[in-house]
Every structure is written in C-alpha cells, then in structure tokens.
Amino acid sequence: MHPRHSRLRNLAIGSAPVVALFAVVGFAPLPFSVAQPGPTANVLGDDKGKPVITIEGRPARPTTGQLRMVTIVATGPSQDVGISDVVRAWFRTDRAVMPRNSVYPSGGSDEEISEHNRAEMKESQDSATAAALNYLHLGAGQVKVTLNLADVGGPSAGLLFSLGIVDKLVGNGSGGELTGGRTIAGTGTIEADGSVGAVGGVSLKTQAARRDGATVFLVPKAECADARAELPSGLRLIPVTTLSGAVSALKALDKGADVPSC
C-alpha cells in the first residue's frame, strides 16, 4: 500500500475512538457546576419584612447607607451539566465553570447540602456576633443580637454581618455611619477573633455588587487577584484580613484618607 494511503488509513482508524469519545462527552453529564452572580442583601435593612440585624440591650443607630452581602447562584448537585453548558459559560464573563466538589464540598443530596449550608450560615452568624462584640469589648450578656436572613446559606456573609452589628451599635465612633452613607458590599468568612477568610466566586460577586449599586467592595486580601479579574467599572476594591482592619478602612474612606487597595 502506498505510504500516504497507509497514513490516512491509520489516521482514520486512530481518530474513530476520539470522535466516539467526544460524542459520548457531548451527551454525558460532567462533574462541574455553572455559577453566576446571585442576589445581594443589605444587612442594615430588612429581609422579608423583618430586620436582618436586631439589637436588644442597647439602642440601635439609624442608618442610611448599605452593607450588602453578596451571593452566587450555581447549578445544583443533582442538575446535569453538559459540554454545551460548559462551552457557553466559558465565553461569558458573568458565568464561571467550577468543579462541583468545590461548590458543594459536603456532597450528598440537594436537601442534605441545603441543610449543611444552613448550618454553616448559623455558625457564621454566631461567629460574626462574637467578633463584633469582641471588637466593641461588649459581653454577650450586655447586648443581644439576632440575625435574620432567609434563603441564604454558607459562611461568606460573616464579615458583613459583623460590620452591620458594629454600625448599628456605634457607627464610625464619631457620630456618623460606618458606611458614610455609601452602598458598600463585600464578602468573607469571619472568626470570633475577627480574622477574615477567603470564600471563592469573588469575580462573580463583584458583578452582583456593582449591579445592585455598590461602589466599594471589601474582599479578603488573599482573593485580590480574583476580584480584579472581571472587576466592573465604578467598583473600588479594599482588601481586608481582619474586622478591625475593615472598620479602619471604612473610617479612612469616609475621611478621604489613604485606604488599602488590591
């Protein structure tokens, strides 16, 4: 057989499994989730007719600014994601393809994951309250804080809850609001000692924040690069590592002083 014909024949035979593989992949579900910017909520406001933050034992300060916690929305653990979904999402800046186990690390059914997320939210709220009261040198017996935010799970609102509690109790410490009347958004886990942790999905969260009117975004310092990746015009990034650092940055912003940037 002519060498050229032999090579063509071998190529045709060798490519058959590849074509078959792509055909199978085209119809088979993939172990990914597709995420997009989700709702935001002002922790200084109301959620479904109830205050997100309720203070008892001390007067709560009135606020006009906003502290918006942000979310992403991802395809569920039982929802099939195919190659066409991945390709479409790949070329959109408001979508992200993420390994399913990074979005739902606990595994399990939809209901089990929802329960896990609710538990993480409750733990985050407890840590946020402890962090805020520790920062203000107040004991839990002096002030009772109740946090209410329906239909949101996970720990990523911790920093914003803490800031909201601080704003409700003392504002900026000089008679004004911690927000300076601005719409400020952000994300980050919080520990009782005030340390702020990374959360993931930041490039989508910045888009949700700007969409809902935020001009400033507080981001865990370790995620600055991700936050810059698809940064919307008009949104200023402020990196934070602790609750006290976040409070100081917001005070400096209101005074027109130097503020850290990513």
- 193 touches 214 (CB < 8 A): no
Distance CA 35, CA 72 (A): 6
Q: What is the pLDDT of residue 15?
A: 43
Structure tokens at 46: 């109301």
Element (H, E) at 226: helix 224-229
Query: Which sequence spans correspond to the domains of the chain?
Result: 1-28, 38-72+110-255
Question: What length is written for the chain?
Answer: 262
209-245 tens-digit pLDDT: 999 999 999 999 999 999 999 999 999 999 999 999 9
pLDDT number for residue 246: 98
Where are any strands of DSSP class E within the chain?
32-42, 46-47, 50-51, 53-56, 66-74, 96-99, 144-147, 183-186, 189-190, 196-197, 216-220, 236-240
- DSSP-based three-state secondary structure for 115: helix
State whether CATH 3.40.50.620 applies to domain 38-72+110-255. no
**Secondary structure of 164-225 in HEC code, one letter for each residue:** HHHHHHCCCCCCCCCCCCCEEEECCEECCCCEEECCCCHHHHHHHHHHCCCCEEEEEHHHHH
Overall average pLDDT of the 190-206 stretch: 96
In contact, 46 and 192? CB cutoff 8 Å: no
For 43-76, write each residue's pLDDT tens digit. Answer: 999 999 999 999 999 999 999 999 999 999 988 7
Give residue 179's pLDDT band: very low, low, confident or very high (50, 70, 90).
very high
pLDDT tens per residue across span 134-143: 999 998 889 9
Distance from C-alpha of 249 to C-alpha of 90, rounded to nearest angstrom: 35
Longest distance between any two alpha carbons in the chain, whole Å: 93
Distance, CA of 36 to CA of 148 (rounded, Å):
24
Is the pLDDT at 202 greater than 90, yes or no? Answer: yes
